Structure 1
């Protein structure tokens, strides 16, 4: 019974990491998708251990330890291999550059120009012609790089 519980916990964790990578980067601005899954999955495992059909402390602890070890292994792989980190976390994506929207990238990430302009306005930039580059960071936040004021140079 215990090996099945461990395998179910590991499979669920890896499946959720994959789903968050497929679904997108917008679940949280400060958490990476990798961390987002860990927080919610461990909470779910804890709840299952308390009220689920297999409500035993042993099963809950075993599942949580299995996921913690799995998370540790993925974190180690991310640290050790840059390619693995890019697969899990993604890379920054350019959304606008030289007054042009990268509509294919924005469409793929399900971001509208209003999302980008909201971030620009938060930095005091009122229009696209004042934005040099907009970047969707790997952790989901949109970074705005303003054009340099030629009068200040």
Structure 2
């Protein structure tokens, strides 16, 4: 029968002390894997926290939880993980402060998604952001169509910030209300102002192919 407070088991789980060096190696590898995985997942996958902050939380949470619950996980290896993660955190934040390119790789950078009522197509594709998801975010801000939006930015946290035209400057724009957007068509029944459902560009059409029904200007409510 094992003693309740068997210190060699509690601290090392009967592993050799040199195993701590393996723990350091494992921690560095897994930290890097977590960082790259969440980086690939994109900002929206870690909304409200930066990729780097999310990695820290996951790594420390796992290191702290296992030795609390499982008797076969030694406390000293877990503490070693904490030390390695904190040192990596200090090193990466220092490098990010010194190197703008490295900072953008770790934290990402703010990207313009909508510019003067139109999609920035290159940026939108790069962010791997679904159009429906983006429209949902805008509707939560009481936006009815893109003509109301002067600029929209994807922040490093994954949040979307929007800047509006003044009421008298509101333009025609791509409607984002589902019942209007879903009424898109390649044919038009009458002349009017039509938007492109891909980029949001609007122009007057004369009874020929189009992507949307005629629009009306609406003000930001």
Q: Normalization by structure 1: what TM-score?
A: 0.86
Give CA deviations for 1:84-109 in whole Å, capped at 9, x if unaligned: 21110111112122222233432332
Q: For 1:88, which of 103, 106, 109 is the aligned residue?
A: 106
Q: For 2:53, which of 32, 35, 38 is the aligned residue?
A: 35
RMSD: 2.0
Contact 2:52 2:107 (8 Å CA) reproduced: yes
Between Structure 1 and Structure 2, which shows a larger proportion of helix residues? 1
Runs of 4+ with >3 A deviation: 48-54
Q: Where does residue 92 of structure 2 map in the other structure?
A: 74
Q: Where does residue 119 of structure 2 map in the other structure?
A: 101
Consecutive unaligned residues in structure 1, runs of 5 or more: none
**Does 1 or 2 have the higher relative contact order (CA < 8 Å, sep 6+)?**
1
Q: Normalization by structure 2: what TM-score?
A: 0.62
Moved more, 116-125 or 66-75: 116-125
3-state SS of paired residue (1:144): strand
Consecutive unaligned residues in structure 2, runs of 5 or more: 1-18, 170-221
In the TM superposition, residue 124 of structure 1 has moved relative to its aligned partner by 2.4
